[in-house]
Structure 1
């Protein structure tokens, strides 16, 4: 199956600024899966879906720079968690739309952007969020660059919750129930071990 064409006026943002607390403080983007770093795998899946790839990171910046344009959190929002990376991505975005994904989803759908963008291009909303088996995956979203002022106001007001801000911005859900394995987060070392075992069985 050929790769989907990039959605017009779309930039991708790889979120790699997490602390990796449950992984012993490791930078999850550089954990290895069958000889390739997770960030490299996710970047390879995101890159064909957009016109440009941004990477939100706060360490190993040179390594991430080999994958895309690295952006750092604004000092004003440096303690705001994933939303700080999103704010930085929206500021750096030169396109009308931004699609985001975390660095620990190596099985990310090849049509993530196209499916998330469908309701936005139809004018149903300005932000969409991936859902699978009834559960939201908040950092897998597509949104209008025009939501930057809304996000900044939320952060300056003390807000920190991704789902809370998304709801306030009128987010709509996009179902990915056909791809449950694509949204298996790698939060603990045993999660990575299980995925590696399954990967070997399939390949």
Structure 2
């Protein structure tokens, strides 16, 4: 597969959290090497997907200024990443949707084609770095939206439990485990800036 081939996918960046471990800041808009974190993440999707959507719950105009469609959680109260995934599935225009969190600026540039190649006959493909899975870095069928909505109505908030209801697989990224570093604390951001800014 050509690495710059645009695939029939929607890309959704999950930026709707409270950022509690970062002092309550809007992580997606926080500075990383002179640009908002979300801009680094978007680069991993651009050129590979038909559209990029940002799931956010505050500072909406700042996110729209990045040139993406912005969708809020369908229900208020910061209910976690499953709510963001559901909202993204409902907003997506393509039959397949790839999700990435806003706080992983070093994701592999070939993330999307590798997930697409790895999903096979499954409904969900989840990135795995060789030691652990990263459930919010995933590709899934848009048609799962109804099932996820029902699960949320029943009180489900655990991604792993919802994935287990479907045919899912892990896609091996053990060649680049450092790419999945997510920035939950200021010290983590500073360390990754030092590593990537060289």
TM-score range, shorter chain: over 0.9
Q: Which runs of 4+ in 1 moved over 4 A?
A: none
Give the whole-Å Cα distance in 2 for the aligned partners of 1:200 and 1:10.
Answer: 31
Match of 1:181 among 174, 178, 183: 178
Unaligned runs of 5+ in 1: none
Contact 2:135 2:160 in 1 (8 A): yes
What is the Cα-based RMSD across aligned positions, in Å? 1.5
Quote the offset at 1:90 in angstroms.
Answer: 0.8
Which residue does the alignment assign to 1:33?
A: 32
Tell me the equivalent position of 1:86. Answer: 85
CA contact (8 A) 2:3 2:113 kept: no
TM-score of the aligned structures, taking structure 2 as reference length: 0.94
For 2:163, the equivalent position in structure 1 comes to 166
CA distance in 1, matches of 2:11, 2:86: 13
Q: CA deviation at 1:44?
A: 2.1
Aligned to 2:114: 115
Instruction: Provide the residue aligned with 2:128 in structure 1.
Output: 131
How many residues are matched?
A: 196
The answer for the alignment partner of 1:147 in structure 2 is 144
What's the CA shift for 1:49?
Answer: 1.5
Task: Give structure 2 stretches of 5+ with no counterpart.
Answer: none
How far residue 11 of structure 1 moved from its aligned partner, in angstroms, is: 0.4
Counterparts of 1:176 and 1:79, CA distance in 2: 30
User: Deviations for 1:18-57, whole angstroms, at most 9, x for unmatched residues?
Assistant: 1111101011111212211111111122122200011100
Deviation digits for residues 116-159 of structure 1 (CA, Å, limit 9, x no counterpart)? 12233x32x11010010220101000000111111111111110
Say whether 1:190 aligns with 2:187: yes
Q: Distance in 1 between matches of 2:155 and 2:197?
A: 45
TM-aligned CA deviation for residue 78 of structure 1:
4.7
Structure with more of its chain in helix, by fraction: 1
SS in 2 for 1:49: coil
Shift of 1:80: 2.7
Q: Provide the rounded CA distance (Å) in 2 between the counterparts of 1:169 and 1:78.
A: 27
> Equivalents in 1 of 2:26, 2:57: separation in Å?
10
**TM-score scaled by structure 1?**
0.91
